[in-house]
Structure 1
């Protein structure tokens, strides 16, 4: 499975947004989480190099999130307007981004507002752990990830429950997950070969000049019962007739049954990409 959300972090390298002095204090939970991260077998190189550790605290209407990952300071510099500050822990420089009012650290002294760096950047796909809590500070296992959705989070869950409560919040019926956010992705019940046959045999509009192996992708929503409904075009062909034909074929596919996605032992609603290949369109 691709790394969480397929996200590639843009880590800007024009300048460093270093604070002049340590100005944040980590909570005991955050310290133990960082220790767990750097002692994980996949992150031992980062530990041995004493890479700086990035923590990002953010929130939405229902959750608090804390992301943790190692950043090789010799190669990458992180320059963002939401830089909060830094401290040191276990031989590593810890740099914090996101909210000043966080449950995961406290700000001892504020820093000057940072300016965003120039447009020179390096593409960087770090090994990210993201921990999620509900607004009552109970642990949310459904949106906690250790690099990818299918990794074991039991150690993270035990740590969170050492400091916070266990969630009694039921899985939201209307929560929709991306395919990379679930342990087991939704599947076409008749199999991939049958799905490809349905797509190829129903696509009626043809073009000789389609560019790329995957000209168009339509997203459909698979609910917890395996029922499919049309969502939207997630990758356009830039050809209105082709896009409309892809939507028509996707509606046909929605008449079939799917095996729903599952995550952390629960069936969940998830988006499924209907991929139209060049061979489906070129005569």
Structure 2
């Protein structure tokens, strides 16, 4: 994996409103995106970050931050992502397993939020602290009274309380954060387009840092990701006409930050060739080939 500047990668994509972002683990994710015309405030201190009225993202380039670009193929299409990884030995966050008060959020993206109180939800994630940020005194008191217990413990009222109150959600990793200000949908409801969070207890119980379909190199843990605009889908995930410029742009990211063996399989398929069967005996290789073949179909070649 030999790319250019990690800082340039992050800044260039943060400046692109078509790029979405996520931070979290398998079963608990905060996502950030913005509309092209949405009022946006970039960080005044020159750091890598921005905020809208619906959410915020802030990142720091650390020496051990490793981007890893990959595609996964599935029936009818493909996905693309650049995972932002840390070495397994350097990714650990608090790993709290009970609700805990952390104090004022002095690092909040917006100055107006820095006196509000952070509470770690205690999800026990390896590389991410999933928190809520609360300014309402009554809600602060109720969360303080519930501190020290797992939020999913039988009879614990914290979950329904947070859904009803919809405080800010703040997900933290070693190199950054995503903040979500939008309402939490009720049970059975769908999140509105834009910044949102998902916390799925059934997936959390698996204890995974990422989906098994992601070809993350051994020794790395994905903590966040950037999601460049898809060549064949619109911002809502619906099929759209093929965008050759977007396709070429992600190809350059794969060349710079991807697995050379998987990228070589992609180039072979896109050039009309058939990969060597000896090189296709892993699930990740087969997925990369499916993705490339889906792209051939989308291009109409």
Tell me the TM-score normalised to structure 1 length: 0.28
Give the number of the structure with larger relative contact order, counting CA–CA contacts within 8 Å between residues 6 or more apart. Answer: 2
> Hey, which of these two has a bigger chunk of strand by percent?
1
Tell me the TM-score normalised to structure 2 length: 0.27
